[in-house]
Structure 1
């Protein structure tokens, strides 16, 4: 008997489809030996009936076994249970007593597996260890100087690869705050070298606390083992390549960024966002020694509109990040290692030209494939909101990305496509975002992205989410106006990185198939000499709801030796009923 079992009639159409796809993976065959009506022996005396033996057919391994076991444990404890068996560096999963599961996925590495098999949150807080400053727990192997000569920052990769940056004079002992080491006045009076540990690398900045009286040039010696530092295309980025020319690390186009507006200025509706200037960036080689040379635009440094302190930002990071900014108006801090994400809309010219900045997020949603989605949301933590309430009804829209992209190479011209189907808009608040003490009032933006999760679950390409500024045509900013919203990125230590939360249900278990009066089994094939074979099917759903089902079966007949060959037909039986099994 070639046996196929299918389920139908779930409350959610998507779950009905998923259940059917699962149980159709079970197949077996039953060979029933035929007998001849002319070769019957004399009837035997009536005997006491015996109970037929029951044979269980081979059952494929259930890929969802750890999840189902966690659900049972959640029911037993009557509280949510962490499913560490399916944790990844960017996601956690929880099982609940009612049978559903929740995925929490982050836009970048958030935890690491420990040698004992447990998981721990990444913590880039700097601690002194082995004569250097190192993060408590990070994806990248980085270390910072405690002062003196030698490299101020180094990053080690496997297979003998090392990248280090030095300073032209001895450094003072750094001031350490969390994941930041500040070498005060290292670049001259009022100019600090600042190094920040990130989950997947590090960033190094020079902070100019005072307006310089002459042009600034920074020369940073570079030391490499098995790696080469070079300028990217058109000199607008920095890349590290290995001995085979493969890119292993990168830095976005260096920029210089001013201090931005004060809260009171932003709340007045006349906010000017942080201004950015260009940096002439070169990689020079002299007698086999490399140096990174940075020259911030002198006009930007001397411009009265430039607000100090400002940051010279030549960021370096490993290419493991999944949140980035793209803009059609440069220069913008688009580094994948930025601690801020941005979405903005601005009228920059009298001709009505509008410039934008979009944030692109990527999440690992592979676990959702083939699941029945309950609900999904995206949470992003707002650090600054400049002018959004003055352009209502304006807000921030999220869309599902439909084509591939890479964080270290994406820009405005090659950014991925996105669809408005299933998009969601978060309207800007219409009240002040400043507290009585003149400080920003942080908040969380939340979008319903259930339609996106359903698309991923049913096979749509999972390439992430685009976050963009939204306002209708009747509420466009005037020249020089606009609104800018800044969010915490995955690199913001102690912050709230973008998080995707999805609740979902498992499909029914792969059914257990049994049959009575089976004489022998060979793999999935069963042989029975009886003309009456009772076949049983049993499955379960993770929640206490009914399950409609149907099944079909085919019987193959074979003649006994020396008897006529009976026709090999197929008998199909269909049933439907309601199951009340619980998983």
Structure 2
């Protein structure tokens, strides 16, 4: 078949089916730096190049991301926040910046602009609030009539809502609210607080087998377990107080017989303890409990932290204004702190882009010391499995990889320098992995060396408020929540080209560019003369004359073998292990995780103690078969160095892995005791502390 209007050589004019013309419009790569074909982006790039300044592209913004054209006229700047910084206007024709400041409007107290809606009582009724997001409405009432609230920023305080000296606080957040009860004076006896909650449609309260309240979906499956909530005395509630200052406790939570009223009962011993400094803050209901199951922010960002002693459950950190990471030692107790952050996914439109620069900006306001290089620094690693800020547990943390990990050694503190400051983690490789298709599970922050005695940082969280105005990078000189800035160069857009193809077969599908080019030069081949040796010609002649001769393979010309491509994949490899090689103070019930570069099978994890005795246990793959978890049959021995090796793993091509070996040391069972305290100035070798 001829697919062209061009003249065809006379020797090709054989009878053929009716000719068809098909100028195939194909795509060819465009040189780097050329125009993108997107008029909006091209106009912004041109303007940025001419002005020498970054130019915002409002048409490409979302609730959590802001896009700019950079002054180089080639790259784009993407700024991401863990929470929305703007909300789409009611008419759908633009955005309004998030502003959680509470004001009185039409007989109710409302934030100026948040995702969804929130209406608080203006006083003289019992409906504390109504919160709506994505057509899901929650309502909280009170046992008694509320007084007119006192407003301060994004907080409304209802004095004596639960009796004299027992106030009710509601804080507006970009996507919802958080409720707290303030006990201003030491009570003379036990207390309890009833909080009636009408959950959004589709979810409800239900008691589990242990009698504890849970939030379940329409199918009856548990979405959130409502665990005891955090209690803090005045010192502990002050995010600017020294790390570990004050006392933390828990308030029990029960579900009343009406299946919608939560009853909070603060620990009576905590309230009566003379060491407890008043006022005491009791965390009550929060939209975070159901928000990820009912609203559009299920795919949004989040941040939290945990430690291995007295904050092992992230549930108690909900709504806190700090993120803590590192290693502390005070009052004869050593603690490991780990921070977790997740930003919204980078839009799919950036697929194939090359990351020029990616920076995580954290506002560091307190550290164990100050300087450009403090201790082993704080290391940021890419998280490789799922987690949630509502139920992150110390002994069930997500897996991480050291590929692209980066350590920032700087430290600010208002205690020693009088100023806080912005610290930057360079995450080029991590963000590139997300753009290239790796799932964005977020970032883990830990001490560079968790065996160090003291090396910690406190950062402001998404709930700390501060600067969130665009451009967010300008916020790095003042208090701000976590910010991720990414400079990318988009892939060269395809260039349309007309290619006229010649073919002797019916075209049923549009060919690729290279195939079209090949067909554009198609010429029917003339028969090629057969070249044979004189010896073979004589044998053929003799056969023609009646002589029988059998041609063997030796009579045929040798076949040239093209080495070709090795299409059977590459050797699988280990990309990360946990505990890490050389890790110390490993918990006695910690599992061993091995992360591979691709899905594998038949992997064998062998672990031996210092005496060479092999440890019994079970190994289980995750759904991707890229993560293998080994769980020992019995707890690790205290203070023991174990050698580990993974071997025999094969990929889908049955290519075996090269054995990978490492070692780690478990924590010492008994707590270490020192005679000095935080800030003493002396140093000592670290010793693991069993969780209290």
TM-score between the two structures when normalised by the length of structure 2: 0.60
**Structure 2 counterpart of 1:199:** 174
2:378 matched to 1:396? yes
Distance of aligned partners of 1:293 and 1:249 in 2 relative to their CA distance in 1, 3 Å threshold: same
Let me know the Cα RMSD of the aligned residues: 4.4
Give the Cα separation in 2 of the matches to 1:381 and 1:457: 26
Residue in 2 aligned with 1:443? Answer: 421
Shift of residue 376, structure 1, vs aligned partner = 1.2
| More off after superposition, 131-140 vs 222-231 | 222-231
CA contact (8 A) 1:252 1:408 kept: no
After alignment, is 410-419 or 389-398 more displaced?
Answer: 389-398
The residue number in structure 2 matching 1:324 is 304
Structure 1 alignment gaps of length 5 or more: 3-28, 40-54, 527-536, 538-549, 569-583
Report the alpha carbon displacement of residue 304 of structure 1 after superposing the two structures with TM: 2.9
> Equivalents in 2 of 1:424, 1:285: separation in Å?
52
Native 8 Å contact 2:125 2:146 kept in 1: yes
Q: How many residues end up aligned between the 2 structures?
A: 485
Partner of 1:555: 519
1:361 matches 2:342: yes
**1:302-329 C-alpha deviation (Å, 9 max, x unpaired):** 2233233221012412223522223333
Task: Give 1:2-13 correspondences, 5 Å limit.
Answer: none
Question: How does 1:99-248 map onto structure 2 within 5 Å?
Answer: 99-114=74-89, 115-158=91-134, 161-224=136-199, 226=201, 227-230=203-206, 240-245=215-220
Distance 1:173 1:83, change over 3 A: same
Identify if the C-alpha distance between structure 1 residues 395 and 136 changes in structure 2 by more than 3 Å, giving closer, same or farther: same
Larger relative strand fraction: 1
Q: Which moved more, 1:418-427 or 1:66-75?
A: 66-75
The 2-side partners of 1:219 and 1:249 are apart by 20
SS in structure 1 of the partner of residue 340 of structure 2: strand
Mapped contact 2:320–2:461 kept (Cα < 8 A): no
- Please say if residues 152 and 166 of structure 1, whose CA atoms lie closer than 8 Å, have aligned partners that are also in contact: yes
1:162/1:96 Cα in 2 relative to 1: closer, same or farther (>3 Å)?
closer
Cα gap change, 1:190 to 1:396, in 2 (>3 Å): farther
Q: 1:514 to 1:410 in 2, by over 3 A?
A: same
Partner of 2:358: 376
State how far apart, in whole Å, the 1-side matches of 2:98 and 2:81 are.
12
Tell me, yes or no, if structure 1 residue 70 matches structure 2 residue 44: yes
Residues 1:468 and 2:468 aligned together: no
User: Could you tell me whether the CA contact under 8 Å between 2:121 and 2:129 is conserved in 1?
Assistant: yes
Once residues 182 and 295 of structure 1 are traced to their aligned partners in structure 2, the CA distance between those partners, rounded to angstroms, is 21
In structure 1, the partner of 2:495 is 511
**SS of alignment partner, residue 186 of structure 1:** coil
Is the CA contact 1:152–1:167 (under 8 Å) kept in the aligned structure 2? yes
Partners of 1:254 and 1:315 within 8 A in 2: no
Match of residue 407 from structure 1: 389
Q: Retained in 2: the 8 A contact 1:207–1:311?
A: yes
Asked whether the equivalents of residues 388 and 428 of structure 1 are also in contact (C-alpha less than 8 Å), the reply is no
Q: Label 1:252 to 1:136 Cα distance change in 2 as closer, same or farther (>3 A).
A: farther
Q: CA deviation at 1:498?
A: 0.7
Q: How far apart are 1:553 and its partner, in Å?
A: 2.9
- SS of the equivalent of 2:46 reads helix
DSSP 3-state at the match of 2:59:
helix
Cα distance in 1 for partners of 2:210, 2:464 equals 27
Distance in 2, matches of 1:233 and 1:140, equals 34
After superposition, what is the alpha-carbon deviation per residue over 1:231-262, rounded to whole angstroms, capped at 9, x for unaligned? 679678x6544544477888675110223379
CA distance in 2, matches of 1:262, 1:290: 29
Task: Tell me the secondary structure at the aligned position of residue 260 of structure 2.
Answer: strand
The verdict on how the C-alpha distance between 1:258 and 1:60 changes in structure 2, with shifts beyond 3 A counting, is farther
Instruction: Give the 5 Å matches for 1:410-421.
Output: 410-421=392-403
Report the CA distance shift for 1:113/1:143 in structure 2 as closer, same or farther (over 3 A). Answer: same
Q: In the alignment, which of 461, 465, 472 is matched to residue 488 of structure 1?
A: 461
Work out the CA distance in 2 between the residues paired with 1:157 and 1:132. 18
Q: Deviations over 1:513-559 (max 9, x none)?
A: 246999xxx99979xxxxxxxxxx9xxxxxxxxxxxx9993135789
Pick from 413, 423, 427 the counterpart of residue 409 of structure 2.
427
Quote the Cα distance in structure 2 between the aligned partners of 1:322 and 1:430.
Answer: 24
Q: CA deviation at 1:371?
A: 1.0
Gap regions ≥5 residues in structure 2: 14-22, 30-35, 468-478, 529-692
Contact kept? 1:249, 1:316, Cα under 8 Å: no
SS of structure 2 residue aligned to 1:285:
coil
In the aligned structure 2, how far is the partner of 1:338 from the partner of 1:232?
28
Contact 2:308 2:335 in 1 (8 A): no
Alignment partner of 1:496: what SS? Answer: coil
Contact preservation (8 Å) 2:369, 2:413? no
CA distance in 2, matches of 1:341, 1:281: 26
Matched residue SS, 2:256: strand
Deviation at 1:91, TM superposition (A): 0.8
